Copies of this chain bind each other. A is one copy, B any other.
Amino acid sequence: MALIVQKFGGTSVGDPERIKNVARRVLNNKSTDDKTVVVLSAMSGETNRLTKFALSMQKIPDRREMDVLLSSGEQVTVSLFAMAMKALGQDCISFLGDQIKIYTDCSHTNARIQAIDTEKIMDSLNDNKIVVVAGFQGVDENGDITTLGRGGSDTTAVALAAILEADACEIFTDVEGIYTTDPNVCNKARKIERISYDEMLELASLGAKVLDIRSVAFAKQYNVPLHVRSTFSEAEGTWVIKEETAMEGKAVSGVTYNKNEARITISGVPDQPGIATKVFTPISNAGIVVDMIIQNQDTGNGMTDMTFTVLRSDYKRTMKLLESVVESTQATGGVQGAETITKISIVGVGMRNHSGIASKMFSVLANEGVNIFMISTSEIKVSCIIDEKYTELAIRALHDAFELEKDTPAIEENLV
């Protein structure tokens, strides 16, 4: 007997026919004594449709009401799924976020799960029902509906898998798994069989879109084995699991990129204590998230430059905010910015045991004539900011240089 949580996203349940197919697939893969919990997103396109309605009502839609509105999407898919399952002769029951007390904080549109009451779920599973849960939604202490923000259904699935101590959490998606890089950019991209939580966290935060970072962090915290696989094929996908020795055989596991950032430099600011606060407090007060920050060393004249990146959608607002910062800091060099940049990153737990990985990345880029604007590193990743136009070139060069198209024997052995 196994307890499995399976999550299907919006394209997998995009219309009634697809919902039926998902029901068939879930039932076919279920052994008699398996316990299955299914988590569903809204039909693809539904969230956009509802958001458009909301924006036609109010310029900045009220966030409490937005959650009431958006949570209707999963309500539709889970009830239809339960009907489809019953039509196949398998008993099934749907639960919404507030029905199984997926308690969250009160941060409407971006809430965090705090607790889940498993009683109703376990009772239904013990009655041999398949349980289908509305992803993305919860309820706060006031009884108000909340939603979990981007990737919220993944988070629901992982949280349920954690609290139910599931044997696995399967994330069904429209791709076959996690790839060494974007297959649309590099035709040598290879599906990864096993990857560690930490690598996946870096990949997710650096731009890989298959899994949301929050659900990966949750899975790591509770040691939930994640299986990312395709709705439309029976092939094994990618397992995201606890780090294994074999994983360190390879220095680099994947190359990823992110075109959603913009770069800003404020030049000629006095190099004195508290200057960073003066620059970044107004930005953070405006709710703008800063990613990379580099402060150049004082070049001798008591002045310094600061360069940082923000989301491209926050670029114009940040540039505007900096006008007063230039005044208050008396920055002599003013502000420069560029919207057309890419953050390109290599990720791998093996980096810890392999030296020279960063310098190899720099030389690969240099050999292709790609200038590096900013560098940031962690224990298991190196990121470089480059001009956007070199993105594809850089990815293919790095993928080749680190031989990512080849699987390592050490990992293969571990797969059985």
Contact between A66 and B87, CB atoms less than 8 A apart:
no
Closest-CB distance, A98 to chain B (whole angstroms): 7
Residues of A50-79 whose CB lies within 8 A of B: 50, 53-54, 56-59, 61-62, 64-66, 68-69, 71-73, 75-76, 78-79
Contact between A56 and B16, CB atoms less than 8 A apart:
yes
Contact between A58 and B75, CB atoms less than 8 A apart:
no
Q: In the assembled complex, which residues on chain B have CB atoms less than 8 Å from the CB atom of A71?
A: 75
A287 and B98 CA atoms in complex are apart in Å by 34
Closest-CB distance, A197 to chain B (whole angstroms): 35
Contact of A69 among B20, B80, B99 (CB under 8 A): B80
Contact between A72 and B72, CB atoms less than 8 A apart:
yes
Contact between B99 and A143, CB atoms less than 8 A apart:
yes
**Cβ-based interface call for A86 (8 A):** yes
A93 and B62 CA atoms in complex are apart in Å by 10
**Cβ-based interface call for A82 (8 A):** yes
Contact between A57 and B84, CB atoms less than 8 A apart:
yes
Contact of A57 among B19, B54, B96 (CB under 8 A): B19
Residues of A91-120 whose CB lies within 8 A of B: 93-94, 96, 98-99
**Cβ-based interface call for A384 (8 A):** no
**Cβ-based interface call for A206 (8 A):** no
**Cβ-based interface call for A211 (8 A):** no
Closest-CB distance, A97 to chain B (whole angstroms): 12
A64 and B91 CA atoms in complex are apart in Å by 12
Contact of A20 among B57, B83, B84, B145 (CB under 8 A): B57
Contact between B76 and A16, CB atoms less than 8 A apart:
no
Tell me whether A83 and B54 are in contact in the complex, defined as CB-CB below 8 angstroms, given that A72-B72, A75-B71 are known contacts: yes
Residue of B nearest to A53 (CB): B16
Q: In the assembled complex, which residues on chain B have CB atoms less than 8 Å from the CB atom of A82?
A: 62, 65, 68
Beyond known contacts A65-B86, A72-B76: 8 more, CB 8 A cutoff: A16-B56, A54-B80, A57-B83, A58-B86, A58-B87, A65-B82, A66-B83, A99-B143
